[in-house]
Amino acid sequence: MSVFPRIGVLRHRVTLEAPIDAPDGAGGFLRSFAPLADLWARVAPGGAREDFVEQRTEQATSHVVTIRWRDKVAKDMRFVFRGRKLRIQSIVDPDERRRFLICQCEEIS
């Protein structure tokens, strides 16, 4: 598949969520997420890696989420896809013509 998908491959329904930070009263904050929009997307596996963190193994799964171009999509947002949370790691407009956004995401649990 080329970098520029046909619209027909955007067949998965995802929810774009934005973070909301509220003070916790102790100088920090509590982060929650609010839904912004339901979008059609292409969700493809990007790979997996296993790290040894604090004397245990952890597995991180990555996904590539392609959506139609949308203003104000940021790195601290996430997608919800079939109950799974995909944190956006990076965002690319492949041809800088505002047609698509390709988001590298990491699945979080």
Q: 59-101 pLDDT, tens per residue?
A: 789 999 999 999 999 999 999 999 999 999 999 999 899 999 9
Give domain status of residue 2, yes or no.
no
Instruction: Let me know if residue 49 belongs to a domain.
Output: yes
13-64 per-position pLDDT tens digit: 999 999 999 998 898 999 999 999 999 999 999 888 777 777 777 778 999 9
Q: Is residue 66 included in any domain, yes or no?
A: yes
Rounded CA separation 5/100 (Å): 8
Would you say residue 52 lies in a domain?
yes
In which element (H, E) is residue 108 found?
A: strand 100-108
Q: Would residue 76 count as lying in a domain?
A: yes
Owning domain of residue 66:
7-108
When divided into structural domains, the chain yields a total of 1
pTM: 0.85
Q: What pLDDT score does 55 carry? A: 75
Nearest to 88, CA basis, from 70, 56, 109, 65: 65
Q: Which amino acid is at 11?
A: R
Whether residue 1 is contained in a domain is answered as: no
The CATH number linked to 83 is 2.40.10.270
